[in-house]
Each structure stands twice: as structure tokens, then as C-alpha cells.
């Protein structure tokens, strides 16, 4: 994280500087690249579930490395680069387009961009492949060792010093970890391979030894670059000039560490080195892990080899090399996870791992750290951006021209090479008299070196850093300063001095005027350009760094406080080993410890108050109720442990919101207990609160606090549930082309909602859609919920119109092949309830929705209310028919809350849904209804507490602020609130689920899932 923060700070520094457009793009691309590599590191660190999957990944890396090496060997022996022959539409090759040659031998590169990158990747794979060949498995030794053999041979014939250094370092780290037999066998095989290569490839050994000769030009070019490095480094030594801003147009150092010192400064480079060091140490400590311990030193060797090779070329410019390095860094963390010490053992009490809290929870708990750090770190930004200014820049050229008429007495020849030589002499004379610029880029403009007041005078070089080409008699003059007038004056003065030197030198030699070489300025009038800083990038970089620092500080404090508590508990419980073949069950987060039969309390009980009164009840069907000051919340989870965790998380949230511990009474079939729950996630029993229940041998498992029990037996039939791959978005696209991708957060949420809506319950369920005001969307809500439940959960869903005054449910749904309604059904209730009645008989009276798969029982809106007003017995009869033939009944209610039909509907309801629009009178009507039901107590109060409120956006002009305000007003008095966006298909006319926009369908799915979780 420190490394990433340093990169963000350097990115902000680049935004405050006046950089050329190409360098600005380079910083953006470098930021994206580091983000992708950091993602690889984190996935490798935390995404490997067990040791078997870890071995599978290492095995695949070794096999792919063997194939990678094989391709390079084919290139070496054939001299053909087969990769560039493959043309992929829309893509171009980023390689060299051929195979390099050194000492008469071809240098392979496989799919890499350069042989150096190829060698670096092989050097990091070799230790893994070697160690994997020594891990026992069902495969033969030959099958395990062939990737290592190919990688080793390919690394040697790659003809790069980097590969040989990587082999020496990586294998050298592994050798001490091998037993004597393995070391002897490796030595014999290595010697045999070298002898075979000496005879099979004549001259190879001599060429390899020649690469390390003192006069090698590539070594000289690296050492000669140190002076240029100090010039660039001294400008921004602490945090650098921005990762990705030091392109080849400035200087090629062929040393990633020098590039890092210039781009992210001393702090960032130290963070990178520390990252490598921590990863290597972590992997070495894991060498005793069961099954995969031998891979620990191998990963350390790979990381150290990759880090060492960063000193021989600019590794971050080569995606395969840096990607492999970050993958190995992540794997070091992963194997370190498997090597984590157990939480209990001899001489220790059991201390659980800290809770996995979300960032939001951490910030809520450590806000007193988050806010000051954020404000302090972000406070300098406004002043920096106000003082950041751009620069003015110009570039002119002094052109040397041959004399119009030369004589035989002219000692200066007029050929092109002599003009270039004379221009070089004039440039040297000027440089001896005037101080040159501290930095001279290869081809980039002078201001790109982050110089704000300087000038440069240089002979035009049309070549590069290593292959110069001075073929034109031109001297380039560049001037950068803080105002345009200064730039013009200095440019004019410099060119005038160059022209004077060109003439005065020839005058001293006595050359006639008409025979002299002349110098002229091009263009005659200098054009001054203003280069502005990128303040937006500076804000983004520093803002992201400030947020990262604030989040990191909060998380570090959170972790440190837990570690302190853990050390204290271990110190207090030292010397009390647990019984053999027994386990200690601790409270939810392991806070309760036992010593000498007494509990060690870590929560300050004096801070607990009488309110709120919290009661948790767990039922055998994996459902539960949590009551907070008479407000009930319902829970349903897939397992008892998940239910306990959900209840505890809710109570911890209450404690966190109050900032103090709270008391909770927990009950299940085994008994009851009173627990004290703290905002930190700790839980422990209150004094004298343990009640096992009458004649019950099994202790209370409500929250699994401390008791010695038999270890749970793992079923032989238990199978790991494999998550289905993603099917939507870019993840789904990659899955479709064969790259299996797991679903994202949004897709997982949608799958969870679909699972909840698809659930079938034991016995029918009735949902009443109620609001005492008309025109708030009761019929719309009934239709959309019915369609959602039927589409995902299958048949057996009925939408019933219980409105005696102009019910519109029938108007907005599909009409069947008849005109029957509730009035036609009533005379047939006895027959439909008889044992001989069949489900198909009901089709005479309900209207099936052919597209949405649910049935509608209509009323007759054209009749007067008096003709459709029924008593409680009639409502009971209709309900009996509905519950016999349907698993789920959604009732669209009327507006008269005193009517017998409305009251009896509430009596039968298992849950109520209260729709409202964004009109305040509609929302107030819904809130008053919930208040009235709650005040009646009993079943009515339970329905109010478990109610789901649906807030529909009345029209697209309603601002989101109003929607959020209405929704927030219902959260204290209802179980859940769901917001539905405006959709023209819901406004008028026939309403079908398929006609809704995708975002609206997703909102109704979320609403139906929220309702289902309360059933």
C-alpha cells in the first residue's frame, strides 16, 4: 500500500509540473498499469482458497513456462520469429519483428518484446519449476521435471547476462534448502548439461564468457549514464517526477532502480525494495508448511531474481517481466497465509482472528483517525495548485550555410561534413563560455525535464542515445522561463551570440567575407508556447493518496488494537493448554477466554445501559427474530451459523451506532443467555446469565460462547459448492471465450435476489399491499411483485383484487377467455374446496397472465361498492380457496381501513407491502398507516415492524434528493425500504414485466427479494 501511495503522490507531482503531452499520457498509462499489476498481486495473495489450488497454480505456471521456453528454443535453432507471422485483426506486434544476434548466435524472445524480458521471465519461473519437480505427486519425475529442464536450457541460450545472473541467484537460494542427495544430483545434471552444450553448440560458452568482459559496450553504456542520472534525480529526489514520465526521449538508463529513483523518488523506491524484501522473508518463513513448504524458498528465489534483474534493464516497460514479478510477490503472500500460526496451542488460550470488516465499518469505528489524517494530508493541495504555474518555451535553430563563392586560399572546406564540423566547433565555443543546461534530453523538449528557467544549445542529433547521427549543420536553441518576454529575449540573445561566434572565428583566420560560412536563425521570429500544469491530475493523484493514507491509517489502528488485545489475552492465559481432542468455542469474535474456570472479561460492563432492549430468537428452520425496543426484524439464512452471524452483525451495528456496549438476550431451543456486545465486535456473557434450560445436556449454541464440546464430524458426502462463472458484462464475455471469470459484486447480488425470490415456503404465504390513499401504486406494486415471483419462482402465484371501490387490478392485467370475477367465484367456493375439486377448475374464474405466469382474481370496478362489499366470512372463504391452490397470494387492497374486507385481509397477511410515491401526502399516508398498525399491537404491530416500503419515483423530474429523503423517513419504522425508478411503462395501461426497462426490472427483483426474506 505504501508503494501505491508513493506512486499516487508522484502522479500528483507530475500534474503540478509542465510536462509534454506524451509524458502526461505516460503517467496515466503507468497508473493504469500499476493498478492492473496490483490487482494481480492481491488476487494471488487472497484469492487462493487452499493448498491444493496453490499447487495447481504453480504447476500451471511451470507448464506454461516450459512451453514459453520451448518456443524460444525453436526460435534459437531455426532463426525464425514465428510470433510475428501470426496476424490478429486489430492488433499489431509489439516485439522487435525479428531475432537479435549476439556473437553470431540468435537471441530468442518467444512472445516477449525483447530478449531481456524473455530472460527475466525464465529466471523467475526456473526456481518454481525446479522446486515443483521435487514435490511428490502422482506424476513421474520426467513429467514433473521437463518444464524446469526446458526453462534452464532456454535461459542459457537466451544470450543475456540477466538470465545467467537470474539462474545463479534463484538456484543459489534453493541449493541450501535441498538435501545432500538432491544437491549432488543437481550438480551432476548441471555439469552434464554444460558439457553437452559445449560440444553441441560450438562457441556458445566463449560467447557467454565474453558478455562479462570489462570492455563490453552495453556495460559501458550503463555505467556512463550515472552522470545523467544525478542530473535528473536532483530535481525531485523525494517523491520523483511521476511514474511513466521518464521515457526514452530523455535518457535510457537500462536500470529500473535508477528509473524508479527519478520517477517516484527515494521514498517510492525504498517502498518497492521493502515490498520485495517482505515478500521474500514471508516465503522463506513458509518453508515448513505441509505439502507446499518447498515452494517457499522457490518463491523467494523468484522474487529476488526478478528484483535483481530490474537493475539490468527497465523492467517496468516490459509487461511480461513486471507482471511475473508482481504475481510472484502475491504468491509469497499467499503461501504466507497458509503458514500463519494457529490461534491456539500448548501454553496459549484460544484467540480468534480479527473480524473481516468492510472499509465502511472500519471508518465508522475509527473515524477519529480517518478524518484528521484525510484533512491534514489533503490540506496542502489548494495552496500547491494555486502556486503551480506553467512555463513558456521556444525552440529556434541556427543554420550554417556554405559560402556562395570559395577560393583556393579558403582553409575551410565547403563540403557538408565540414559545415557540420564548423557548427560543432561553434557550439563548443559557446558551451565553454556559457553554462549549459543541467539536463539535456535525447529528443524531448527542454521543459519536459521539469526545468523552469534554463536554456540549451546543442548540435542537431538525428540518431539516438547509442547511435548518434550528426548529419546536419544545425544548432538547436531551446529556452524555458516563467514569462514570454524573457523567453524571446534570451532566445534572440543566444542566437545572436552563436551567429557572432560563427563570424568572428573566421575573421580571426583572415577569411574573406564572401568566402565565409554564414549562420542564420530559423525561424527568424521565435514562437513562444505556454505549457500549463495538469491541475486536475494533481487533485486526483493527491486526493487518492490522501484517501488511501486515511483508510490505511484507520485499518492499521484497528488491526493494532486487536493485536494488543490478543497479546494481553495470551499473556493472561499463558500456560493453560487446551484438552487433547477437544476444542474451545469462543464468542463470535473470540473475545471470551477461560482461565481456571473463570471468564476473562474484556468489555467494560459499567458502560452498558438499560436501553435499548434487544432480544434475539433463533428457530430451528433457520429463521430468527431480532427485537430492538419492541421493533422486530426478521432474518432468514442458509445455515444456523450464518443466521447467528447475521444477528450478531446487526447487534454490533447497533452498538457501533451508540458508541458503547449493549445488552442482548439470546434464546433458542436449548435455553437462553444474556450477552454484552461491544462496538468492536466483542461479545461475552453478562454475569450470572447462563441458563442451559431444564434437563438439556447440549449447551446453548445461540452465539457459541465458551463451552467444551465434541469436535463436529465432517460428512463424507459434503461437497464444495462451485460458484458458477459470470454470464454478463465483460466478465461474461471472457467466460464465453473460454477464460472463466467469477461474477462481480453486482452479479452476485442479483443472483442472491433471484435465489430469495425463487424460494418455496412450507405452506402458503399471503402478502397484503396496503396504503390508505389511492393513486400511490398499489395495483402496480401487486402486478410487478406477482410477475417477479412467478417468473423466477414458478407457478402458484395469485394476484387478488380486494377492493370494493373501483379496483383497477383487472384493468392493468391481461384478460383471460372469460369475464369472470370474484362475484362469480363466490357461489363455487364449496365445490372448489371439496376433495374432488381440481386445480384446472379454478381457471374458469381467474385470468392467467400468459407472459408473466401468474393468475389474477379480478373485482368488478364498474359496479357500485355496495354490490361488492363482503363480510369477514366471505373474505375467509376466498382466502381458503386461494391458499388451497396457490403458494403465494398478493392482495391489492382498497382505501377504507375500517372496512371488514380490509381488516380481514390484514388478519390473513403474513407480511404487508406499503407502496408510496414521492408525493409527500402519499408518504405521510403510508407512515400514518404503519403507526396505526403498530399502536394496535399484536399481529398488527408485527406486520408494521416487518413491513417493506416501496418508494416509486412519480415522474422523471423528481430529483434523487427527494427520493432519498422519502426513503430515509421510513427506515426507522419499517424493516426495509426499496426505491423504484420512474418507468413510462408503469404509468398507464396494460402492465407487463417484460415491457419494463432493465434497471426497473432489477429494482423490482430487489423489492421482491426483500419481501421474500421476510417470509
Higher pLDDT among residues 475 and 594, named by residue: 475
Q: What is the mean predicted confidence (pLDDT) over 405-415?
A: 54
Q: How many Å from the N-terminal Cα to the C-terminal Cα in the chain?
A: 44
- Give residue 897's pLDDT band: very low, low, confident or very high (50, 70, 90): confident
- Give residue 797's pLDDT band: very low, low, confident or very high (50, 70, 90): very high
pLDDT of residue 328: 92
pLDDT of residue 103: 57
Q: What is the mean predicted confidence (pLDDT) over 171-177?
A: 83
* Euclidean distance between CA atoms 103 and 263, whole angstroms: 35
The backbone torsions φ and ψ at residue 241, rounded to the nearest 5 degrees and listed phi first, read: -100, -5
Assign 518 to helix, strand or coil. strand
Place of cell 534493464: 313
* Euclidean distance between CA atoms 623 and 968, whole angstroms: 27
pLDDT of residue 245: 84
pLDDT of residue 707: 35
For 48-87, how does the pLDDT look when each residue is reduced to its tens digit (9 = 90+)? 878 888 888 988 999 999 999 898 888 888 877 777 777 7
Higher pLDDT among residues 573 and 441, named by residue: 441
Closest-CA residue to 336 (of 374, 280, 405, 393)? 280
Q: Does residue 844 have a pLDDT over 80?
A: yes
Q: Which residues contact 886 (CB under 8 A, 6 or more apart)?
A: 764, 796, 797, 798, 855
* Euclidean distance between CA atoms 476 and 521, whole angstroms: 10
Grid coordinates given for 133 = 519437480
pLDDT of residue 526: 85
pLDDT of residue 692: 36
Residues of 970-1007 as b/e, b for ≥16 C-beta within 10 angstroms? beebbbbbbbbbbbeebeeeebbbeebeeebbbbbbbb
For 279-294, how does the pLDDT look when each residue is reduced to its tens digit (9 = 90+)? 999 988 888 777 788 8
* Euclidean distance between CA atoms 107 and 109, whole angstroms: 7
Grid coordinates given for 458 = 546543442
Higher pLDDT among residues 696 and 187, named by residue: 187
Q: Does residue 30 have a pLDDT over 80?
A: yes
For 221-258, how does the pLDDT look when each residue is reduced to its tens digit (9 = 90+)? 666 677 778 888 888 888 888 888 888 788 888 888 88
pLDDT of residue 671: 67
E strand or H helix at 118:
helix 115-134
Q: Does residue 702 have a pLDDT over 50?
A: no
Distances (CA, A) of 451 to 446, 454, 459, 920: 7, 6, 20, 61
Q: What is the pTM of this model?
A: 0.56
Q: Does residue 600 have a pLDDT over 60?
A: no
* Euclidean distance between CA atoms 170 and 153, whole angstroms: 15
For 363-372, how does the pLDDT look when each residue is reduced to its tens digit (9 = 90+)? 777 888 888 8
Q: Which residues contact 706 (CB under 8 A, 6 or more apart)?
A: 584, 585, 586, 587, 592, 593, 594, 599
Q: How many CA atoms lie within 13 A of 70 on its CB side?
A: 9
Cβ atoms of 456 and 477 closer than 8 Å: yes
Q: Which residues contact 147 (CB under 8 A, 6 or more apart)?
A: 62, 63, 65, 66, 69, 125, 129, 132, 133
DSSP state, 90?
T
Higher pLDDT among residues 738 and 910, named by residue: 910
pLDDT of residue 864: 56
Pairing of strands 583-585, 707-709: antiparallel
- Give residue 706's pLDDT band: very low, low, confident or very high (50, 70, 90): very low
Higher pLDDT among residues 972 and 619, named by residue: 972
pLDDT of residue 710: 46
Q: Does residue 587 have a pLDDT over 70?
A: no
Place of cell 442482548: 664
pLDDT of residue 597: 42
Q: What is the mean predicted confidence (pLDDT) over 708-719?
A: 51
pLDDT of residue 642: 77
Distances (CA, A) of 54 to 50, 145, 170, 285, 330: 6, 18, 20, 17, 12
pLDDT of residue 589: 33
Assign 439 to helix, strand or coil. coil
For 623-637, how does the pLDDT look when each residue is reduced to its tens digit (9 = 90+)? 788 888 777 787 777
- Give residue 1000's pLDDT band: very low, low, confident or very high (50, 70, 90): very high
Q: What is the mean predicted confidence (pLDDT) over 18-28?
A: 84
pLDDT of residue 579: 36
Q: Does residue 469 have a pLDDT over 90?
A: no
Q: Which residues contact 709 (CB under 8 A, 6 or more apart)?
A: 582, 583, 585, 699
Helix 51-78 with 141-157: angle, nearest 10 deg? 50
* Euclidean distance between CA atoms 913 and 771, whole angstroms: 9
Which of 90-99, 189-198, 849-858, 890-899 comes out lowest in average pLDDT? 90-99
pLDDT of residue 666: 85
> Where does 88-162 show beta strands of DSSP type E?
100-102, 105-107
Q: What is the mean predicted confidence (pLDDT) over 194-209?
A: 62
* Euclidean distance between CA atoms 753 and 785, whole angstroms: 13
The share of the chain scoring above pLDDT 70, in percent, equals 82
Give all strands of the β-sheet with 797-802 in edge-to-edge order.
847-848, 855-857, 797-802, 888-893, 765-769, 911-917, 948-952, 976-980
pLDDT of residue 620: 73
> How many helices and strands, by DSSP H and E, does the chain display?
31, 25
pLDDT of residue 721: 56
* Euclidean distance between CA atoms 679 and 174, whole angstroms: 48
Q: How many CA atoms lie within 13 A of 332 on its CB side?
A: 26
Cα dihedral sign for 960, 963, 969, 973?
Answer: negative
Q: How many CA atoms lie within 13 A of 486 on its CB side?
A: 13
For 941-997, how does the pLDDT look when each residue is reduced to its tens digit (9 = 90+)? 888 888 999 999 888 888 888 998 999 899 888 889 999 999 988 887 888 888 899
Per the prediction, the chain carries an average pLDDT of 79
Helix 21-46 with 2-16: angle, nearest 10 deg? 170
Please work out, in degrees rounded to the nearest 5, the angle formed at the alpha carbon of residue 170 by the alpha carbons of 167 and 173. Answer: 135
Cα dihedral sign for 213, 216, 220, 221?
Answer: negative
Higher pLDDT among residues 289 and 694, named by residue: 289
Q: Does residue 588 have a pLDDT over 50?
A: no
For 291-329, how does the pLDDT look when each residue is reduced to its tens digit (9 = 90+)? 788 888 889 989 998 898 888 888 888 899 999 999 999
* CA 688 and chain centroid, separation: 47
Helices in 379-521 by DSSP H: which ranges?
380-387, 416-433, 484-508
Q: What is the mean predicted confidence (pLDDT) over 209-217?
A: 55
Which of 99-103, 327-331, 902-906 comes out lowest in average pLDDT? 99-103
Q: Does residue 3 have a pLDDT over 90?
A: no
Q: What is the mean predicted confidence (pLDDT) over 707-712?
A: 43
Higher pLDDT among residues 248 and 705, named by residue: 248
Closest-CA residue to 119 (of 308, 331, 328, 329)? 308
Q: What is the mean predicted confidence (pLDDT) over 787-815?
A: 85
Amino acid at each position: 500500500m505504501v508503494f501505491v501511495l508513493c506512486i499516487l503522490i508522484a502522479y500528483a507531482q507530475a500534474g503540478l509540473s509542465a510536462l509534454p503531452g506524451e509524458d502526461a499520457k505516460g503517467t496515466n498509462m503507468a497508473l493504469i498499469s500499476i493498478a492492473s499489476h496490483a490487482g494481480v498481486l492481491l488476487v494471488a495473495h487472497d484469492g487462493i482458497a487452499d493448498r491444493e489450488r496453490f499447487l495447481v497454480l504453480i504447476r500451471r505456471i511451470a507448464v506454461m513456462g516450459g512451453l514459453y521456453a520451448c518456443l524460444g528454443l525453436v526460435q534459437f535453432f531455426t532463426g525464425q520469429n514465428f510470433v510475428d507471422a501470426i496476424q490478429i485483426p486489430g492488433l499489431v506486434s509489439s516485439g522487435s519483428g525479428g531475432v537479435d544476434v549476439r556473437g553470431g548466435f540468435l537471441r530468442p524472445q518467444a512472445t516477449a518484446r525483447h530478449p531481456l524480458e524473455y530472460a527475466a521471465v525464465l529466471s523467475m519461473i526456473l526456481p518454481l519449476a525446479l522446486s515443483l519437480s521435487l514435490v511428490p505427486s502422482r506424476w513421474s519425475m520426467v513429467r514433473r521435471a521437463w518444464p524446469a529442464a526446458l526453462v534452464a536450457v532456454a535461459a542459457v541460450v537466451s544470450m543475456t547476462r540477466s538470465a545467467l545472473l537470474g539462474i545463479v541467484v534463484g538456484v543459489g537460494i534453493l541449493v541450501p534448502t535441498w538435501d545432500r542427495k538432491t544437491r549432488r544430483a543437481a550438480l551432476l545434471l548441471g555439469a552434464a548439461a554444460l558439457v553437452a552444450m559445449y560440444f553441441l553448440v560450438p562457441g556458445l560458452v566463449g560467447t557467454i564468457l565474453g558478455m562479462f568482459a570489462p570492455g563490453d559496450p552495453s556495460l559501458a553504456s550503463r555505467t556512463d549514464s550515472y552522470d545523467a542520472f544525478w542530473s535528473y534525480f536532483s530535481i525531485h529526489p523525494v517523491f520523483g517526477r511521476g511514474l511513466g514520465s521518464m521515457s526514452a526521449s530523455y535518457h535510457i538508463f537500462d536500470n529500473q532502480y535508477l528509473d524508479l529513483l527519478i520517477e517516484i523518488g527515494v521514498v517510492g523506491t525504498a517502498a518497492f525494495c521493502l515490498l520485495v524484501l517482505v515478500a521474500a522473508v514471508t516465503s522463506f518463513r513458509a518453508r515448513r508448511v505441509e505439502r507446499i513448504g518447498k515452494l517457499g524458498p522457490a518463491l523467494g528465489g523468484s522474487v529476488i531474481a526478478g528484483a535483481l534483474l530490474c537493475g539490468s534493464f527497465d523492467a517496468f516497460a516490459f509487461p511480461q517481466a513486471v507482471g511475473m514479478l508482481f504475481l510472484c510477490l502475491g504468491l509469497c503472500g499467499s503461501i504466507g497465509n497458509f503458514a500463519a500460526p494457529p490461534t491456539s496451542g500448548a501454553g496459549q488460550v484460544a484467540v480468534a482472528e480479527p473480524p473481516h470488516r468492510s472499509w465502511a465499518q472500519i471508518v465508522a469505528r475509527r473515524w477519529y483517525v480517518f478524518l484528521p489524517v484525510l484533512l491534514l494530508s489533503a490540506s496542502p493541495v489548494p495552496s500547491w495548485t494555486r502556486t503551480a504555474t506553467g512555463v513558456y518555451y521556444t525552440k529556434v535553430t541556427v543554420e550554417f550555410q556554405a559560402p556562395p563563392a570559395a577560393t583556393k586560399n579558403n582553409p575551410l572546406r565547403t563540403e557538408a561534413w565540414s559545415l557540420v564540423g564548423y557548427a560543432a566547433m561553434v557550439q563548443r565555443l559557446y558551451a565553454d563560455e556559457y553554462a549549459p543546461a543541467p539536463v539535456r534530453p535525447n529528443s524531448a523538449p527542454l521543459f519536459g525535464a521539469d526545468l523552469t528557467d534554463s536554456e540549451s544549445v546543442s548540435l542537431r542529433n538525428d540518431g539516438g542515445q547509442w547511435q548518434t547521427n550528426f548529419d546536419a549543420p544545425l544548432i538547436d536553441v531551446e529556452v524555458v522561463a516563467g514569462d514570454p518576454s524573457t523567453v524571446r529575449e534570451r532566445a534572440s540573445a543566444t542566437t545572436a551570440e552563436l551567429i557572432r561566434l560563427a563570424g568572428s572565428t573566421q575573421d580571426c583566420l583572415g577569411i574573406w567575407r564572401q568566402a565565409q560560412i554564414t549562420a542564420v536563425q530559423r525561424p527568424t521570429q521565435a514562437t513562444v508556447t505556454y505549457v500549463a500544469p495538469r491541475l486536475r491530475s494533481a487533485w486526483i493523484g493527491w486526493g487518492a493518496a490522501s484517501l488511501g493514507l486515511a483508510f490505511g491509517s484507520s485499518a492499521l489502528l484497528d488491526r493494532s488494537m486487536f493485536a494488543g488485545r490478543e497479546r494481553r489475552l495470551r499473556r493472561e492465559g499463558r500456560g493453560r493448554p487446551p484438552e487433547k481432542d477437544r476444542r474451545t468455542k469462543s464468542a463470535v469474535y473470540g473475545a471470551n477466554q477461560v482461565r481456571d474456570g473463570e471468564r476473562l472479561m474484556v468489555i467494560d460492563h459499567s458502560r452498558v445501559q438499560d436501553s435499548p432492549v434487544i432480544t434475539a430468537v433463533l428457530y430451528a428452520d433457520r429463521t430468527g427474530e431480532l427485537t430492538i425496543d419492541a421493533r422486530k426484524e426478521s432474518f432468514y439464512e442458509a445455515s444456523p451459523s450464518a443466521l447467528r452471524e447475521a444477528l450478531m452483525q446487526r447487534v454490533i451495528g447497533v452498538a457501533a451506532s451508540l458508541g458503547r456496549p449493549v445488552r442482548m438476550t439470546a434464546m433458542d431451543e436449548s435455553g437462553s443467555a444474556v450477552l454484552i456486545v461491544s462496538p468492536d465486535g466483542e461479545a461475552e456473557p453478562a454475569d450470572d446469565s447462563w441458563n442451559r434450560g431444564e434437563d438439556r445436556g447440549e449447551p446453548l449454541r445461540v452465539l457459541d460462547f465458551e463451552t467444551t464440546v465434541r469436535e463436529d464430524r465432517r460428512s463424507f458426502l459434503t461437497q464444495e459448492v462451485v460458484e458458477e462463472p459470470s454470464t454478463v458484462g465483460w466478465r461474461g464475455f471472457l467466460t464465453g471465450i473460454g477464460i472463466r471469470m467469477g461474477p462481480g459484486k453486482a452479479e452476485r447480488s442479483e443472483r442472491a435476489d433471484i435465489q430469495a425470490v425463487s424460494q418455496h415456503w412450507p405452506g402458503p404465504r399471503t402478502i397484503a399491499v396496503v396504503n390508505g390513499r389511492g393513486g400511490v401504486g398499489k395495483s402496480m406494486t401487486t402486478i410487478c411483485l406477482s410477475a417477479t415471483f412467478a417468473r423466477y419462482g414458478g407457478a402458484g402465484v395469485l394476484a387478488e383484487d380486494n377492493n370494493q371501490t373501483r379496483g383497477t387490478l383487472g384493468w392493468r392485467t391481461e384478460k383471460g377467455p372469460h369475464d369472470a370475477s370474484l362475484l362469480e367465484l363466490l357461489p363455487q367456493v364449496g365445490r372448489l374446496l371439496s376433495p374432488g375439486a381440481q386445480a384446472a377448475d379454478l381457471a374458469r374464474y381467474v385470468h392467467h397472465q400468459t407472459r408473466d405466469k401468474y393468475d389474477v382474481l379480478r373485482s368488478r370496478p364498474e359496479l357500485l361498492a355496495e354490490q361488492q362489499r363482503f363480510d369477514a366470512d366471505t373474505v375467509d372463504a376466498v382466502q381458503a380457496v386461494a391458499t388451497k391452490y396457490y403458494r403465494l397470494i398478493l392482495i391489492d387492497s382498497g382505501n377504507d381501513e375500517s372496512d371488514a374486507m380490509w381488516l380481514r385481509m390484514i388478519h390473513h397477511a403474513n407480511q404487508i407491502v406499503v407502496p408510496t410515491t414521492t408525493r409527500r401526502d402519499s408518504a405521510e399516508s403510508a407512515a400514518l398507516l404503519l403507526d396505526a398498525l403498530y399502536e394496535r399491537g399484536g399481529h398488527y404491530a408485527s406486520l408494521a415492524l416487518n413491513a417493506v416500503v416501496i418508494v416509486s419515483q412519480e415522474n422523471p423530474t423528481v430529483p434523487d434528493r427527494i427520493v432519498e429523503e422519502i426513503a430515509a423517513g421510513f427506515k426507522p419504522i419499517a424493516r426495509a425500504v426499496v426505491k423504484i425508478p420512474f418507468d413510462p411503462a408503469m404509468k398507464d395501461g396494460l402492465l407487463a414485466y417484460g415491457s419494463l426497462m432493465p434497471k426497473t426490472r432489477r429494482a423490482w427483483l430487489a423489492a421482491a427479494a426483500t419481501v421474500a426474506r421476510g417470509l
